Amino acid sequence: MILGCHVRMTAPDFVEGSVREALSYGADAMMLYTGAPQNTVRRPTAQLHIAGARELMRENHIPSGNLIVHAPYLINPANSVKPEVAELAVQFLNSEAQRTHEIGAKYLILHPGSYTTSDEKTGIRTVISQLNKLDDLPVDLVICLETMAGKGSELGTSFEQLEEILSGLRSTENYGICLDTCHIHDAGYDVRDFDSVLDEFDRIIGLRHLHVIHLNDSRNPIGSHKDRHANIGEGSIGFDALYRIASNRRTESVPKILETPYIGGKPPYAAEIEMLRKGEYDPEKLNSLRNAL
């Protein structure tokens, strides 16, 4: 089971600190933002302790595919209403793709964007044309479009829509999919029957294009289009279904990344990873974080 979580990337140790944080939770995969998720201010990679991070990963037998970067969520390559927003997205993604590669990560997760006051068709056309402007993408870098919950005018809420975007992209080997369990549940897919979801994914997109799974429970019922993550076992997906996803043989080689909320200001990941590795739900593990002062 390749299991990891969202980790911080902050001074003084930056990416090396991110890897160390993940290891402290018993993780063998990790996802980070190269700066604040809500802005595009970024430090030069020379300051990010990349050599130390690589060394730590090598010592712990963690391949580069298990180190994942998430693009900031404010960039919107689907915005045709304000073309400068979509252009900023392209500009930023060009440098983010380079940074991701320099950090030594293989996957860059990207929200396909929102069409705002336009319409779905125009939004899809806009993401495709903007992403096709990216130049010099590193050969072994894969930008993974994330499945979305369908909040507001979000794109990426169905496998069909994602397939439509993928099929319009020129540099096909540079693109793939990140499947977020909370998001597809909120979008209306019944992830409790994960094998059927994978069958559908395979039929429409092709399982070989699935590179990362975001493993999150959801605070809301199926089809709610809300996108509020819950801790493992505490939401409407539930522990058993999430464990079946984490241990599914067909996605064995796909890293699963937790993006569950902190509890009482503390990361819940060590407890959640332990429960998933054991296949045993223990609500007390999370409650003890909640009740600690």
Q: Which residue lies nearer to Fe ion by CB, 74 or 81?
A: 74
180 binds Fe ion (CB under 5 A): yes
Farthest CA pair distance, the chain: 53
Q: Which range, of 26-34, 87-95, 130-138, 142-150, touches Fe ion by CB under 5 A?
A: 142-150
Q: Which residue lies nearer to Fe ion by CB, 35 or 52?
A: 35
Evaluate whether 89 touches 77 at the Cβ level (below 8 Å): yes
Residue list 211-230, contact with Fe ion (CB under 5 A): 214
Beta-carbon contacts of residue 23 (< 8 Å; ≥ 6 apart) = 56, 60
User: Binding partner of residue 28 among Zn ion, Fe ion, none, CB under 5 to 8 Å per kind?
Assistant: none
User: Binding partner of residue 227 among Fe ion, Zn ion, none, CB under 5 to 8 Å per kind?
Assistant: Zn ion
CA atoms within 13 A on the CB side of 238: 11
Q: Which residue lies nearer to Fe ion by CB, 54 or 211?
A: 211
Count of residues engaged in binding Zn ion, rule: CB under 5 A: 1
Q: What DSSP letter does each residue of 178-243 carry, written as one string?
A: EEEHHHHHHHT--GGGHHHHHHHHHHHT-GGGEEEEEE-EESS-TT-----EE-TTSSSS-HHHHH
Q: Which residue lies nearer to Fe ion by CB, 146 or 272?
A: 146
Q: What angle do CA 147, 95, 166 make, to 5 degrees?
A: 30
Q: Which range, of 17-25, 66-74, 76-84, 224-232, touches Zn ion by CB under 5 A?
A: 224-232
Please report, as ranges, the residues that interact with Zn ion according to CB under 5 A. 227
Please report, as ranges, the residues that interact with Fe ion according to CB under 5 A. 146, 180, 214
